[in-house]
Chains A and B, each alone.
Chain A
């Protein structure tokens, strides 16, 4: 869960800064002028730097002037404006507490589960608003698949795990369930490993397998967008690699929005990258540009690990 931007947090990253300076005596940081970041730290909401190529009209998700408050004193998202392009992988990066997970969870309204959360602005999914009063949250969540930080298979058989979203829709026909199960397990590249033990407990799988199972579960109902919330942060490098390959494969069929801490991962799997800081969108553009030729010095320093 993302934390809020409290003054305390601010100070923490300040002290982190000064260490960075000490670390590189001739460093750029000392001379660098973190104009945007400084403005953000001062509580301003600067205009995000958005590359023209992501302003495409055909956005699956369109975040429009979105603000989110955890309570009256803790504002977590500041006027986010962002279009997520169709059929691509978009990564959200940024230091801890920058609101990227909050933004992700705002899209399937998981934040509704937290008492006292209030939002302003609108997000649309395929042009239909998410926060309009007429939206049924349950229906909305069925249009989105979500995978969490820690693999969270349910304590049931592998088969039952995968078909869970269909079961809660009242699907009972065995043939339909079996077909859907196989299809999505194949799509999640785990079919060969589990096809002989579909009836055994999902908790017996390894962490990487569990996460791929969760991906299979997330795509079984054919969602419009797949939301991945740091899907590899609890996995070892080999399992991470497999998931990343899987994301690449899946992105041919689904729009994927992924939150990650790992800059290399963002560089490897995503087509577009958004850099967030303290609840504000800082820079957003094609991954290649963000990582090689960002428009802001802050972004350059962040992706190269010199700040943050």
Chain B
């Protein structure tokens, strides 16, 4: 362009140039591989298949999960053999080589010795009707009872013959609702009394006993081996500890000016003073001449006498409550119902062993009469069944009743694990990204962390059981075991040694950094390599010091000595720690990415304003990375909530009547085992004694599990978007 413009324009007429021959550009053929259309179809198809499978999964869970509680009609079947069966159709099967067309009926009535589900060939059925007065009783025990109501009885224990309150199904239905509500209210009261009052008295009693037991153990302990300071030595050491504080205050500003030639010495001085102070405090604490039990035998005897008195008082209270319970139960037992099964003409019994006694009214959780119900009534039953499912404890080996403790266990576990894993992961990522020198070691750590995410989760379960439950847990319970407990002399030596090693580690660390503005010298580099080793030795020393102390005998010694470990067994705390470990890589990776994504211009801007590294991190980097950190926490939560395998090892149980959270101090009982939805599904599906009855519940529980995980995630995502919008504001 420029060349042509600069060319002088000559006025003289130039000879007309010959027209340039038209150059035929040979077009190259488009290769078949260049045509992308098949790939569009292929990729689109793959996506469709994935989506279809996901949609199918959710549809199946939702349909099966939501229809479980819908009341279905009771059919009365007359068979060729003359037998009459009441049943609810649950499944129909087309003929195969071995079988004819047949239908699976839920016939209930397990307590009179029949299977609660029964296949009936369609050709065997002579007549099929839906009788209006057929009812399904959902009972506290023994599953459902299908039958035709006959009577309501008042069986006065004094009278020979029971008084008949209602005779015939018409009268029965009229009288049922009111009497049932009354009977259930009484039963609820009994349950409350049993659980709250009796439980409270029981735990008081147990605590009183444990206190005395602990005192006995303390008094009986042979403490001759444990070294304790004499009072003057102790006072002298206390003054030394005060001297350390004085030293810290005196040399607070020593070498703190920038570039001071004694900067390292100052830091070392303060660090050493702190270390010595810590060691002295430990020594003063464990070696205190006033430590240990000074209870004599007569003291113990007195405590035992007090305990007896207390027990007597509590026992009286206990009996009082028990009498009240008996009274209600006796009255309750008088009201009976007679619901007759047509097959054997038998009425519903109180229990399998009391087959000649009519069913208590209060044993009926719910009576459903589906054949005469309108849509509204059915909906009512449906919702009340859902409510029962969500709010009550399981019955009948988990196949009936609710999953309230399971929900609580799952939610608590997930929250605890998130609370533990998020700060841990964020701190680790912060160091790795902002403080650590980027190099081979950090790369290796990063790779290791990423690989940790791929370790099979059951491995974490094994680790959790072995390390948290049995090692750490039993340490908390009864202190170091015989094999790890150190001899007293060794322990004191180790205390001195580890203090010195830590001071040495700090010193090497300080002198491993080059002088300001200078390149690291050979000595610096050598010390740098060395200091890691000393740090490691120091940390190991401190761990040994804590793990092997002969002065610690556990926080729950009395309870453990009676054979019930507190933290030394599977429980909520260890399960959430195990899952926290499992999800740690997720948080670290997400946080690291979020921190790296904070633009450097922000950091520079902050430094330019005179902010220090920590201020920049706290005010700019962390807030900027917060949405990313939240994402990490959400991912960890989702991963942790869905994990079952490790839980089977570290704390999830089939059935637990004690919630891990209740109104008794300390409110959150992290030592208790818990129920978990994932494990519950497994238990229902594969461990249940009545798998046919449990099958619909498997779907419902799956639906519930999905919804809870979804809800937890949703809450976290909403929180994150709130944070994000507050941070970012409108972008132009």
Contacts and interface: CB of A to CB of B under 8 A. Distances in A.
A133 interface: yes
Interface string A126-155: 000001111111110110111010101111
B602 A221 contact: no
B608 A108 contact: yes
Contact of B607 (A141, A145, A155): A141
A113 B616 CA distance: 13
B599 A168 contact: no
Nearest to B605: A152
Contact of B259 (A119, A132, A169, A217): A132
Contacts of B257: 134, 136
Interface stretch (B23-31, B479-487, B670-678, B724-732): B724-732
Interface in B582-635: 599, 601-602, 604-612, 615, 619-620, 623-624
A205 interface: yes
B158 interface: no
A138 B608 contact: no
A168 B616 CA distance: 9
B607 A110 contact: yes
A290 B602 CA distance: 35
A131 B610 contact: no
B637 to A, nearest CB: 25
B729 A204 contact: yes
Residue of B6, B258, B624, B730 with highest tally of chain A CB at under 10 A: B258
B604 A148 contact: yes
B436 to A, nearest CB: 13
Contact of A138 (B610, B620, B732): B610
Given A155-B623, A203-B729, A221-B610, A133 B604 contact: no
Contacts of A2: none
5 contacts: A113-B607, A141-B607, A164-B619, A168-B612, A204-B731
Contacts of B623: 155-156
Contact of A165 (B6, B604, B610, B731): B610
A207 to B, nearest CB: 9
Given A134-B257, A136-B258, A154-B606, A168 B729 contact: no
A201 B620 contact: no
Contacts of B728: 155, 201, 203
Interface of A: 23, 25, 108, 110, 113, 116, 118-119, 131-139, 141-142, 144-146, 148, 150, 152-156, 164-165, 167-169, 200-206, 214, 217-218, 221
A131 B6 CA distance: 54
B457 to A, nearest CB: 37
A133 B258 contact: yes
Contacts of A202: 729
B610 A133 contact: no
B22 interface: no
Given A134-B259, A137-B258, A203-B729, A154 B605 contact: yes
Contacts, number: 107
A205 B516 contact: no
Select the residue from B516, B606, B610, B728 with max chain A CB neighbours within 10 A.
Answer: B610
Nearest to A71: B519
B731 A203 contact: yes
A40 B602 CA distance: 36
Contacts of B624: 155
Residue among A25, A133, A144, A153 having the largest count of chain B Cβ atoms under 10 Å:
A133
A119 B729 CA distance: 42
A152 B732 CA distance: 14
A154 B517 contact: no
Given A152-B602, A168-B611, A201 B259 contact: no
B230 interface: no
Interface in B707-732: 727-732
Given A138-B612, A150-B601, A201-B727, 18 more contacts: A110-B608, A118-B519, A119-B517, A135-B258, A138-B610, A138-B611, A152-B601, A154-B602, A154-B619, A154-B620, A155-B602, A155-B623, A155-B727, A169-B610, A200-B729, A203-B728, A203-B730, A218-B608
- Centre residue among B261, B609, B731 by max chain A CB count within 10 A: B609
B2 interface: yes
Nearest to B3: A22
B443 interface: no
A139 B732 CA distance: 35
A135 B516 CA distance: 11
B67 interface: no
